[in-house]
Amino acid sequence: MRFLKADKVFDGLVFLEPETVIVIDQTGCIIDVVACEKVANQAIERIEGIICPGFVNAHCHLELSHLERSIPQKIGLVNFALAVIQTRQALPEPEQLQAMERADAAMYSKGIVAVGDISNTTLSASIKAKSKLYYHTFIELIGLNPTRTEGAFEAGLNVLEAFQKSNVSASLAPHAPYSTSTTLMDKMAQYNAAQNQVSSIHNQECEAENIFLKGEASAFEKLYSTLNIPIDWFKPTATSSFQYYAPHLNANVPQLLVHNTFMSAVDAELAAQLNTRFCFCPKANLYIENTLPHFSNFRLDTFCVGTDSLASNKQLDVLEEVNELLANTSISVEQALRAITSNGASALQCHNQFGFIKSGFKPGLNVIQEQHHQLRFIKKWC
């Protein structure tokens, strides 16, 4: 057994009393959290800085790791999406797999223990199965035309089965409101509800998305015409993208709303009354749209954080993401740390294993430091 005492202990929810000692076994399992006076002084290992649970990256795309630094910054979501579609198959599969392995190892080295990862194919399954990280995979389905519902759903189930066979936790998720029909959303939600599973959607990542779902001319016409997909039949009349699909959110499926860059206060309030949780990826928003969400529109009590992919971020490091939030909002260090520990674990429904320093848990332990309202990673303790 080892007895750890740091300058500060963050247990996933709050900072504990300064004289707290964490008792762990040789596997990193938390045996107890006790007051300092209950432990013989010479047995205590002293740590400079803050000790906290391993981090959760609630939104990533491991499959796009080989696109690192290949897509120009600040070109807007439609141009970004077209660049991803046009370049993602440029490298052969073995090189794509190598890039995924590097990204997985980089996340581990930055103290990440659990990841919510979007996948369109089965390619990442073998890496996730042998990774030191816990992955929940959101199998992402696309199909704006309702006639594609059955085909897209069946294909999605096949990918889902492949992940489940590899013992990787997985569920179905619509890509985005501008790319997935509400019929397909309903079918996925019904399936996820029956499986007791969480889902995810890219929400209001650009202003054009709100305009498109009002039925007005937007940059999405360029996306669909470039892809030779006719959309003249599509006549939405929603007030906003979120209000377009909100009636199709299933109350029994916890829904992760990712990005929320162009979400109004009205929509954020509406979402807060539903079974949803906000996930922010500020570095990706700056990379693609050169903007940040209006954080003052949100109740920042249960939000979590993701890195998005290496196609839209220079690194997969959730501490960099919360530093962006600490610099641009009035959130506290406790709120920031909750986002990348307990809130992230709850969002991915792995809060029985991760996100908390609690006896019986093996959450991974990180040492970090705070200076000038910014957090710095020191090392993984275990």
Considering beta carbons, is residue 97 or 279 the nearer one to Zn ion?
279
Closest-by-Cβ residue to Zn ion is: 308
Of 289-348, binders to Zn ion (CB under 5 A) are 308
Considering beta carbons, is residue 308 or 324 the nearer one to Zn ion?
308
Closest CB 218 distance from Zn ion, rounded Å: 20
Is residue 109 within 8 Å of 89, Cβ to Cβ? no
Considering beta carbons, is residue 20 or 203 the nearer one to Zn ion?
203
* String of contacts with Zn ion for each residue 253-292, x by CB under 5 A: ----------------------------------------
Of 117-146, binders to Zn ion (CB under 5 A) are none
Closest CB 297 distance from Zn ion, rounded Å: 20
Considering beta carbons, is residue 3 or 163 the nearer one to Zn ion?
163
Closest CB 315 distance from Zn ion, rounded Å: 15
Residue 76, helix vs strand vs coil: coil
Distance CA 106, CA 2 (A): 27
Closest CB 204 distance from Zn ion, rounded Å: 13
Max Cα separation, the chain?
A: 75
Closest CB 219 distance from Zn ion, rounded Å: 18
Closest CB 202 distance from Zn ion, rounded Å: 5
> Minimal CA–CA distance to 357: which of 33, 48, 112?
33
- Position of tokens 């619509």? 174
Instruction: List the structure tokens of 248.
Output: 């199709």
Closest CB 140 distance from Zn ion, rounded Å: 9
Closest CB 294 distance from Zn ion, rounded Å: 20
| Cross-strand bridge partners of residue 170 | 137
Considering beta carbons, is residue 106 or 378 the nearer one to Zn ion?
106
| Cross-strand bridge partners of residue 200 | 256
Those residues whose C-beta lies under 8 Å from the C-beta of residue 332, and which sit 6 or more positions away, are none
Sign of CA dihedral 347, 340, 118, 179: positive
Closest CB 45 distance from Zn ion, rounded Å: 39
Considering beta carbons, is residue 308 or 317 the nearer one to Zn ion?
308
Those residues whose C-beta lies under 8 Å from the C-beta of residue 31, and which sit 6 or more positions away, are 1, 23, 24, 25, 359
Instruction: List the structure tokens of 38.
Output: 């209950």
Distance CA 73, CA 171 (A): 31
- The dihedrals phi and psi of 368, each to the nearest 5 degrees, come to -135, 170
* String of contacts with Zn ion for each residue 203-242, x by CB under 5 A: ----------------------------------------
Q: What's 95's DSSP letter?
A: H
Distance CA 98, CA 94 (A): 6
Question: Under rule CB under 5 A, how many of the chain's residues touch Zn ion?
Answer: 1
Sheet with 44-53, strands from edge to edge, namely: 30-35, 20-24, 2-9, 44-53, 365-371, 374-380
Considering beta carbons, is residue 51 or 71 the nearer one to Zn ion?
71
Count of other CB atoms within 10 angstroms of residue 172: 27
Considering beta carbons, is residue 5 or 59 the nearer one to Zn ion?
59
Considering beta carbons, is residue 119 or 192 the nearer one to Zn ion?
119
Alpha helices in 75-231 (DSSP H): 77-87, 93-109, 125-130, 149-165, 182-195, 207-212, 220-226
Of 52-111, binders to Zn ion (CB under 5 A) are none
Binding-site ranges for Zn ion (CB under 5 A): 308
